[in-house]
Amino acid sequence: MRTIPRHLPRSAARHVSAVVTSLAGVLAIAVAFGAMPAAAAPTARSCQSVRGHRVCTAASISLTRTRVTAVGGLITIRYAASGATTCSLRATPAFWKGHNPAHVKCHGTYRIRVTPAHTRRAWTFTFYAGNRFGHTIRVNRSLVATAPPKQLLVTPYNSQNWSGYAIEGGAFSGIGGAFTVPTLTSIPGTLSDTSEWVGIDGVSNSSLIQAGVHESDDGAGHTRVYAWWEILPAAETAISTTAFPVVPGDTVGVRIQKLTGRYWRITLTDGAEKFATTQSYSGAQTSAEWVVEAPSYLASDGTEQIATLGDFSKKPIEFSGLGVAGVQMALDRIFLLDINNNTVSSPSVLSNGFTVTYTPPPPPSP
């Protein structure tokens, strides 16, 4: 007996070739809603004669990185001084609230988080070290956050459970899209499962917030269709077909949007029908996806097993109305392969939307 299905992160994904194309401009789907290592630390040293004695003061500052992408990241500033009694740190333009420069110890660290943004930004951090005789020296270090690419590189990937598109970047706080619910052709004697969904995370991490529609076929012409939402590591939560009826041929819209703190709103629509729920989620928000998936089940030995993808060769699944809120850095085009490396489910080239086509695997060799 099968357990409740789970819709897992992209499995067994790998590059199938180098970047093959680019999409002009950042995807026009914004809805309303390599870091470089640091070079040697700059230092300053100054000496003066006080009552016949040579007095020297030295200072240094360094950053763990001097350059980050538009996605941002965590940076540690390290500063140190010798021969100093008072020290301060300034950010230009201001990076923190409050006094700027701020009084700091003459030997310490300060951690900052550069948030994602759609434009290039730069800061200069200046460390001041003053001695007891009123002499002050300074040293500075600059940090640059680059702008997002004007063209998204489109990279093909293979996966054992996903087909569709994923955008990689940072701080995705919303995603939307719609898809058609397929009509499955039974694979004789084979249980098959198919899900279409929209979600955030799951490409480079094990978190995922998502919602979509599931089709489960018994191999004898009987297909069960229902909507669901899921936040890993929990299994899917099925939505009552009374509360939200859905049938093959429908177009279902999904919107997932961050509210405040850890709270997110998941909304599904199908014509006049609507379902919404608010849930807590704390994933990294580093990718956003529109996917056709072969779901997974927990086997009796405790391992995850990927189901056989259903046959939707009668008509491709259409994705439309794509929208995402966040910094877009790269676009993944994902092809689903079976265990024999046959391509079973393929996304078309992306324009305003895309289609996913099913290709029946060849019969076993005699």
Which stretches within the chain are classed as H helix? none
Whether 192 shows a pLDDT value over 80: the answer reads yes
What are the structural domains, with CATH classification, of the chain? 14-26+149-358 (2.60.120.700), 36-145 (2.60.40.3880)
Mean pLDDT of 251-255: 98
Question: CA-CA distance, 269 to 254, in Å (whole number)?
Answer: 7
Contact 124, 154 (CB under 8 A): no
What is the percentage of the chain residues whose pLDDT exceeds 70? 90
pTM (two decimals): 0.84
User: Confidence band (pLDDT; 50, 70, 90) for 297?
Assistant: confident
Whether 149 shows a pLDDT value over 90: the answer reads yes
Question: CA-CA distance, 195 to 291, in Å (whole number)?
Answer: 8
Q: How would you write 73-125 as a 3-class SS string?
A: EEEEEEEEEECCCEEEEEEECCCCCCCCCEEECCEEEEEEEECCCCCCEEEEE
CA–CA distances in Å: residue 182 to residues 20, 153, 226, 338, 348 = 30, 30, 12, 20, 16
Whether 23 shows a pLDDT value over 70: the answer reads no
**What's the pLDDT score for residue 40?**
55
* Terminal alpha carbon distance of the chain: 31
**What's the pLDDT score for residue 321?**
96
Contact 227, 212 (CB under 8 A): yes
Contacts (Cβ under 8 Å, ≥6 apart) of 309: 192, 193, 194, 292, 294, 336, 338, 344, 345, 358
pLDDT digits (tens, 9 = 90+) for 82-131: 999 999 999 999 999 999 999 999 999 999 999 999 999 999 999 999 99
**What's the pLDDT score for residue 3?**
65
Joined together, the tokens standing for residue 147 give: 């702008």
Whether 269 shows a pLDDT value over 70: the answer reads yes
Mean pLDDT of 65-72: 95
Joined together, the tokens standing for residue 314 give: 């009668």
Question: CA-CA distance, 21 to 204, in Å (whole number)?
Answer: 22
CA–CA distances in Å: residue 188 to residues 181, 215, 311, 357 = 21, 16, 11, 20
Contacts (Cβ under 8 Å, ≥6 apart) of 27: 152, 167, 322, 324, 328, 331, 350
Torsions phi, psi for 188 (to 5 deg): -50, 125
Contact 109, 134 (CB under 8 A): no
